[in-house]
Amino acid sequence: GAVVSQHPSRVICKSGTSVKIECRSLDFQATTMFWYRQFPKQSLMLMATSNEGSKATYEQGVEKDKFLINHASLTLSTLTVTSAHPEDSSFYICSAPFQGYTEAFFGQGTRLTVV
């Protein structure tokens, strides 16, 4: 069945470095990928929408220069947290709509810790 594979599941990085998170759609083409973020003790909030071959759309308050999204192919979207700081430590998860947007599949999530 349709699956979204997200890597890495956990990453610890030093402050000031960049981290790339990948989401791949397996067995289906994902022209759109959604990226969510979860702050501690809060729910998941939509950060941005990536569309294959075009610029991502960011939700209000999300810094596009800090969270770089690339959707270069129909099966791969990446989120790069640039110059990460401790306040970027969070849980990030992607989802991809399937079958004409009737269902969405979620990646496993990435827990980022910036030290």
Smallest gap from Cβ 10 to other proteins, in A, equals: 9
- Three-state DSSP class for 14? coil
Smallest gap from Cβ 52 to other proteins, in A, equals: 14
Say whether residue 103 binds other proteins (CB under 8 A): yes
Binding segment (CB under 8 A) for other proteins, from list 16-24, 32-40, 60-68, 82-90: 32-40
Say whether residue 9 binds other proteins (CB under 8 A): yes
Task: Give the DSSP letter of residue 75.
Answer: T
Residues 46-85 that bind other proteins (CB under 8 A): 46, 49
Own/partner pairs, 78-81, CB within 8 angstroms, 24+ separation: 78/20, 78/21, 78/22, 78/23, 79/20, 79/21, 79/23, 79/35, 79/48, 80/18, 80/19, 80/20, 80/21, 81/18, 81/19, 81/21, 81/112
Q: For other proteins, which residue of 42, 63, 72, 85 counts as binding (CB under 8 A)?
A: 42
Q: Residue 4's beta-bridge partner residues?
A: 25
- Three-state DSSP class for 102? coil
Say whether residue 43 binds other proteins (CB under 8 A): yes
Say whether residue 95 binds other proteins (CB under 8 A): yes
Token pair for residue 88?
């970027």
Note the residues at the interface with other proteins (CB under 8 A): 9, 32, 34, 36, 42-46, 49, 91, 93, 95, 97, 101-104, 106, 108-109, 111
